[in-house]
Structure 1
């Protein structure tokens, strides 16, 4: 089928060339009901059909190029369809080889009769491009009233300005689409009432992007501009002043006109030209979706008062450098309508407004002045004002209406508003990150609404670079049951926190880095969970009360509460204390000392749970905590801890459990213990007196008693000890214990690990190395100058 079609096309071309000077008269018999354009109808065939008749005399004639006045290079002839009654002609195409200028004459002579050229037929010169296309200018006579669909589509080599005939009244879709070589300002004649879809469309794939300006003749009767009519004319500069007769602008009509060009060096979009102002006509009723998507307008934008409909993304990334006023009567701002525009002035919303769509003003980060949301707005959609005014120091206050019921996800995230943020009591829900990054607000009032039960993820979150500016006291409403992840993250200027009895859950990082919170934090009575990092580095809290009923405390939940002191009770309802949950709790000079009470019922204590807690002087680990659920380094560097009781049933002293507890006064090893973990009593310099290692201990870990310089008397290692430091090679187990005066090793072990007794300068007399020892590693008795040994 394809081969047959191509053969026919070749035959037709050959026939046209052979008949270039021939005139052919066609007699077409009209079958009943056959519609055909006749006398008095539009020359492009758009008019009403004549009534059926016996025959209609039309003539098609090819005129040699050399007979056309003003015609330059090229060996071609234009072809016509004639209306012998009206003496008018339609250009239907051409024969021969195109080239040079394309000149359409005002009249053409056939058989001695003169015909006025009134129309360019559909697809007459479509795809006349490349090496065989016209590469000069286009000249159309003022007699032409109609240009058909795709008449010059893809004539990419035509050059120079596009001048439309002054008498033109009709344009077809795609008429000049992708005529990318034509430039200059096109003036739409006064008689044109509609610019159809894709009429001057450019696909934007080439650096040559067509028109540089758009104008409209005085007295314009233009009523509608179709879909993508001027889309892709990237180099349009100057303003666009639409005539007041226009009532409708189609989707993407001016999309990517005067657009930004992507700079691959900077990764930024740069303006391709200063486009100037946009004037919308007073009678405009509809603006289609993305009608002005990615333009570079300057100045103010005024939406006409009679507007009935604006499509999604109508002015998305369309520049503008002034203010924006939306008219009274407008009820909806659609999705992405003004997304990422560059307004520097104020935004005025009408009192009639009822809804604001998703991302409607998102990314408009240079707006200034105060913003008042009208009273009729009940919902603010996701991302509606995200980034609003963020880069303008003159961005002012935000006023939310008393009838507002919901605020969407990221609705105001990153906005530059200042002053107080008062969320009205009518609000029942706030979306995730609704006000995240709004770091210029100075205070916050949450809604007192029984349906407001949750503060979602990141709702009021700041960052390390831009902490939130809320100061004073934050009062969480009595209806709130959960405060979710990062809800008040980096609200670093809050001073007091009031939590309601209704609260059951505090999420991960909910109040992380709220560094100015002070006083005693009393967690509410119905609280069940405290998430990881919930109060991380709230360094000015001075105390903490945990109610019975809390079931879990997450990792690092109270890490870095440096000034917290006094007694702390972990109720038995808490089954899990997370890793580093209270690390550095009270880790500052002068903190009030207190007792740590971990009640029976607690089942698991994570690694470093109380690491560097300087305020605690004593602690008790309840029997409910199994040794398998006790993490390493739990009391590491608790410098003021004097006593701690371990459960009798434990079979091990956990790794690093008292590492650096320099005030610990005694070593208590459970009678049932079979191992002493790595670093278990390392640097416990406050322990004075003899060390008793129970019979039954089979392993002593690396550096287990390293630096315990005040241990005295005989060091007796029982025969049950068969290994030293199975995890870390046992290095330095008793290194620096200079108070020991004698050493007795019973026969069991096979290896004496590195630096085992290094620096035990108080040891004197003989030392007997058991016959079971087969390996002595380096520095085992280094600096033990008082010893004599036998093997």
Structure 2
């Protein structure tokens, strides 16, 4: 009996689960839940509603009616609602009128969708469908969007993977389809986008894998198709993009593997084909890119393996990286003329192995790395003329193994690493002239085994490593005189080389570039070198390995650059050594060469007319000989000096704007002050040579001087003002100033006066100067030597800081103090002799003078500052003349990083033990005593009697001589060496006065 009842119960349950329960109800907004009984809520499958609904009622249908399958809201009006009881969650949300609420049938709390829902009839009055409204409603089979709908928000039907029919009622008002709106609706078979739609959001139909037909109703208003909008619609076969579309997003049709036909309606508004837009469309055979497109993005047609040909319109300016990479069926790329294309991107045509011919437009400036890498079918490469190409990137044409010839445009400045590497069929490389190329990149022609000869352009300065590595077919190569650097392995295994011609008179130094000619038969291969250069090559690293070094006929110039004064008849002579007939011609009428021709060695005199200009001018003398590269002598004639007599503060107003901007040489007489120095510093950018030796510097107080950070400031007379040629406020420096002649009345040079005048080569400090301010010549790295006047008693802080070009300095015996950092980082100094007057050497005074080999510290020095000779790693000898070592206990690091094992410390005779025990001095392991002598006493007292005498002991390792400055005192013996006793004997003192 129990079994029968249980079976009956199961049958009843099954009946109710499959039965359709229909309910028709008229409600007011928010009243659906109360209008239905609890049984109806749990059993109704088909619901027809009239009246007014709001978001609360949609929540009831979603959360309280578990078997609801068919909803008809055609007679419903949707009311506005603001509150916490709607579909969007527990926060107060505004739900607009006439809109299917957000999250209508997809819970934001549980992420559970209304999977029971199979059919839904929209109200005829709705204008919008909210975000996530039907997301993942996998039971839905068909949807018709009413004509009143204007907006379809993001994720509205995402994941409704059983929808087979999607219709937009006509006439549609829809203008936007939101992001991800129909993503993963994998059974939609065809789609007709209404003409009213202006925007299709990103991923709107991505992964609609069942989509086979896509049409856009006309006349379409569509302007934007978003990123990945139709991505992975693998069965889509044809698309015609409306003419109105101006933006086609990244990956819009990516991986539409079934797409065979793609058309752009004309006249198109499209300006950009974005990244990956058609990437992976493996059946796409052709495409008409609109003439309005200016940019083709990265990977735009990546792996479109059936694409046979492509026409790039004249409007395209850039072709992005990997744009056509992997288009293995591509046989032709046509760039329409006149082209606006400037850049062919990284990997743009990588692996297009059927591409046979390419003509690069003249507008292209850059071919980026790997652009045509592995285009193994490429036989013809043409660069249109005139070409603007400047850069051929790394591996740009690498492994284009069938390429036979290439002519590099004259505009190219750089050929990147392995740009033509492994082009084994390449037999001919021509560099158009006049070439602009300065560097041939590493391995640029590596393993171009078919290459037979190369003439490197005269513009090239650098041949990087392995450029012709493995070019076994190379027979001859010409290296121009312009080359200054050749990398390692450049001609490695160029086993077929028979001749190398180098036009450089002085061999390129190969000591840091190993194996440059490894594998070249140096017995069979002849090295041809310039006239009179054989001896140099025969003695130079790796060049000397060639058995046959032959000098070519030619000529040699003693100098190739000269500077002339501005005066009439300024002349210079250059020696020409020659075994050929030559001619000399001038590029300017103001410079003549005499003789202008010859047939052997001679002296050519170059004579200039007076330069009437205030600016320097340049002329070239070209020496030519038949069959030889011409050589050029460059002559720079100084501009005429501007000579002026001015009153203090009047320089700026005395010059025109043109003069201020062009004067190179200036001679001033009269009176000047700090305002005039400011004019020279800030308003005369070309000033190179300044002569104020005939002027007087007046005092000035006020604004407008050189010290702009101080406001009103007092500048003393007869002084180069502080910051005369350096503006500390902006860090502006006088980079043009080369020479300065200063007034003989000058007393002082102000702080930072010439700071960082880094081309200043000559300045003479008058003997009247008694003060030089801190940093006065700091960072004047072109100063070679400096004579300090005897009127100076101290060298202030940082005066010559960073004068790296300073090789010698003469310090007068008047100087007692060398200030902190005085010669800091003077890396060119090799030796320093300090006069006996110096008592103080400041902190880090000679810090990092790394080429300082010797220094002499006089006996007068009583103080040496912290780090005074720190980092002087080149020191070989230090001579300390003081009998008692200077105490360094309060001055750490005096000799830091001086090699105390190899540097010799020389000290006075018989005081080595004192230095061996003294702080820091004792760190030197090589100490030697200077030759000399030592007295047991330096003062004696004798009585007045005749014959009164006293003895001292002289310890010595040199011959010595003793003499008296008074007749009444005799010395015996008067000469000696080694250890001697010396007697001093006096005659009677008849005076009551003590005598000395």
TM-score, scaled relative to structure 1: 0.55
Aligned to 1:63: 36
Q: Deviations over 1:124-156 (max 9, x none)?
A: 77489xxxxxxxxxxxxxxx9853222222362
Q: Does residue 399 of the first structure (1) align with residue 335 of the second (2)? A: yes
Q: Is 1:153–2:74 an aligned residue pair?
A: no
Q: 1:427/1:300 Cα in 2 relative to 1: closer, same or farther (>3 Å)?
A: same
The aligned runs of 1:581-596 (5 Å cut-off) are 581-586=516-521, 592-594=524-526
Residue 347 of structure 1 and its aligned partner are, at CA, apart by 3.1
Q: Which residue number corresponds to residue 552 of structure 1?
A: 485
Q: CA deviation at 1:163?
A: 1.7
Residue by residue over 1:338-375, the C-alpha shift from the partner in whole angstroms, topping out at 9 and shown as x without a partner, is 24131424333355324123226241432423211223
Query: Which residue does the alignment assign to 1:419?
Result: 356
Which runs of structure 2 are paired with 1:393-472 in the superposition (5 Å)? 395-410=331-346, 411-416=348-353, 418-449=355-386, 451-462=388-399, 467-471=400-404
Counterparts of 1:3-152 in structure 2 under 5 Å?
61-67=34-40, 71=44, 91=57, 93-94=59-60, 98=64, 100-102=66-68, 118-119=77-78, 126=87, 147-152=100-105
Q: Deviations over 1:19-77 (max 9, x none)?
A: xxxxxxxxxxxxxxxxxxxxxxx9989xxxxxxxxxxxx9984532324695279xxxx
Q: Distance in 2 between matches of 1:405 and 1:189?
A: 44
**1:164–1:551 distance in 2 versus 1, CA, 3 Å:** same
Give the C-alpha shift of residue 489 in structure 1: 2.0
Q: Does the 8 Å contact 1:580/1:610 carry over to 2?
A: no
- The correspondence of residues 627-646 of structure 1 with structure 2, limited to 5 A, is none
Name 1:637's counterpart in structure 2. Answer: none
What does residue 504 of structure 1 align with? 438
1:252 aligns with 2:207: no
List runs of 5+ in structure 1 lacking aligned partners. 1-41, 46-57, 108-114, 129-143, 203-207, 259-272, 621-791
2:508 to 565, 570, 574: 574
Of the structure 1 ranges 208-217 and 365-374, higher mean CA displacement relative to structure 2 is found in 208-217
5 Å matches for 1:201-280?
202=158, 210-216=161-167, 219=170, 221-233=172-184, 236-258=186-208, 273-280=209-216
Partners of 1:388 and 1:414 within 8 A in 2:
yes
Please list the CA deviations of residues 470-519 of structure 1 after superposition, one character each: whole Å capped at 9, or x if unmatched. Answer: 22x3222233333222222222221111124523321111111212112x
Alignment length (residue pairs): 501
Residues 358 and 380, structure 2, Cα contact 8 Å, conserved in 1:
yes
Distance 1:99 1:605 in 2: 96
Q: Taking structure 1 as reference, are residues 310 and 239 closer, same or farther at Cα in structure 2, changes over 3 Å only?
A: same
What is residue 673 of structure 1 aligned with on the other side? none
Q: Which residue of 1 aligns with 2:883?
A: none
Contact in 2 for aligned 1:339/1:362 (Cα 8 Å): yes
1:210 CA drift (Å): 4.2
Report if aligned partners of 1:248, 1:284 keep a CA contact under 8 Å in 2: yes
Partners in 2 of 1:221 and 1:287 — Cα distance?
Answer: 18
User: Structure 1 residues 439-448 or 341-350, which shifts more?
Assistant: 341-350
Query: CA distance change for structure 1 residues 349 and 409 in 2, over 3 Å: closer, same or farther?
Result: same
Between the aligned partners of 2:266 and 2:61, the Cα distance in structure 1 is 58
Q: Give yes or no for contact 1:59–1:82 (8 Å, CA) kept in 2.
A: no
Tell me, in whole angstroms, the C-alpha distance in 2 between the residues paired with 1:44 and 1:573. 96
Output aligned runs, 1:582-731, within 5 Å: 582-586=517-521, 592-594=524-526, 616-617=546-547
What corresponds to 2:473 in structure 1? Answer: 540
Q: How many angstroms apart in 1 are the aligned matches of 2:150 and 2:476?
A: 75
2:327 is matched with 389
Partner of 2:410: 478
CA distance in 2, matches of 1:395, 1:415: 8
What is aligned with 1:363?
Answer: 302
Distance in 2, Cα, partners of 1:309 & 1:104: 39
Distance 1:94 1:60 in 2: 6
Distance 1:278 1:562, change over 3 A: farther
- Greater shift after overlay, 555-564 or 159-168? 159-168
In structure 2, what is the Cα distance between the partners aligned to 1:323 and 1:526? 50
- 1:311 Cα shift? 3.6
2:381 and 2:71 map into 1 onto residues whose CA distance is: 74
Pair 1:159–1:405, CA change in 2 (3 A): closer
Question: What's the secondary structure of 1:66's corresponding residue?
Answer: helix
Distance between the aligned counterparts of 2:221 and 2:256, measured in 1?
Answer: 19
> What root-mean-square deviation, in Å, do the aligned CA atoms of Structure 1 and Structure 2 show?
4.4
Match of 1:336 in 2: 275
State the partner residue of 1:310: 248
- Tell me, in whole angstroms, the C-alpha distance in 2 between the residues paired with 1:156 and 1:228: 20
Instruction: Give the 3-state SS of the residue equivalent to 1:242 in structure 2.
Output: strand
State the alpha-carbon separation in 1 of the partners of residues 538 and 254 from structure 2.
Answer: 57
Contact 1:441–1:468 (Cα < 8 Å) also in 2: yes
Query: What residue is the counterpart of 1:321 in the other structure?
Result: 259
Conserved 8 A contact 2:225-2:248: yes
User: What residue is the counterpart of 1:667 in the other structure?
Assistant: none
Q: What's the offset of the Cα at 1:544?
A: 2.3
In structure 2, C-alpha distance between the alignment counterparts of 1:495 and 1:277, rounded to whole Å: 52
Q: Deviations over 1:730-776 (max 9, x none)?
A: xxxxxxxxxxxxxxxxxxxxxxxxxxxxxxxxxxxxxxxxxxxxxxx
Distance of 1:386 and 1:121 partners within structure 2:
52
- Ranked by relative contact order (alpha carbons within 8 Å, sequence separation 6 or more), the top structure is 1
Measured in 1, the distance between the counterparts of 2:387 and 2:63 equals 81
Tell me which protein shows more helix as a share of its residues: 2
* Cα 1:306–1:373 shift into 2, 3 Å: same
Taking the aligned partners of 1:319 and 1:187, their CA distance within structure 2 comes to 27
Matched residues in 1 for 2:188 and 2:534: separation?
A: 77
For structure 2, the residue ranges without an aligned partner over 5 or more in a row are 1-26, 90-96, 551-996
* DSSP 3-state at the match of 2:119: coil
CA–CA separation in structure 2 for the residues paired with 1:453 and 1:88: 66
Deviation at 1:313, TM superposition (A): 3.8
Question: Aligned pair in 2 of structure 1 residues 550, 99: CA closer, same or farther (>3 Å)?
Answer: same
SS at 1:541's partner residue? coil
SS in 1 for 2:427: strand
* Aligned twin of 1:37: none
Structure of larger gyration radius? 2
Instruction: Name the CA distance, whole Å, in 2 between partners of 1:565 and 1:223.
Output: 78
Query: Which secondary structure state, in structure 2, belongs to the residue aligned with residue 348 of structure 1?
Result: coil
Query: Match of 1:12?
Result: none
Query: TM (normalized to structure 2)?
Result: 0.44
Asked whether the 8 Å contact 2:326–2:349 carries over to 1, the reply is: yes
2:421 maps to what in 1?
489
Please give the alpha-carbon distance, in whole angstroms, between the structure 2 residues aligned to 1:561 and 1:492.
14
C-alpha distance 388-302 of structure 1, shift in aligned 2 (>3 A): farther
Aligned 8 A contact 2:258 2:282 in 1: yes
Report the Cα offset of residue 289 of structure 1: 2.3
Return the alpha-carbon distance in structure 2 between the equivalents of residues 124 and 240 of structure 1.
Answer: 38
CA distance in structure 2 between the partners assigned to 1:455 and 1:423 by the alignment: 12
The offset of 1:299, in angstroms, is: 1.0
Does the Cα contact within 8 Å between 1:276 and 1:297 map onto a contact in 2?
A: yes
Give yes or no for contact 2:466–2:491 (8 Å, CA) kept in 1.
Answer: yes
Query: Tell me, what secondary structure is at the counterpart of 1:91?
Result: helix
| C-alpha contact (below 8 Å) 2:376/2:401 kept by paired residues | yes
Structure 1 window deviating more from structure 2 (64-73 vs 219-228): it is 64-73
Q: Give the secondary-structure state (helix, strand or coil) at the position aligned to 1:347.
A: coil
Shift, 1:531, TM fit: 0.8
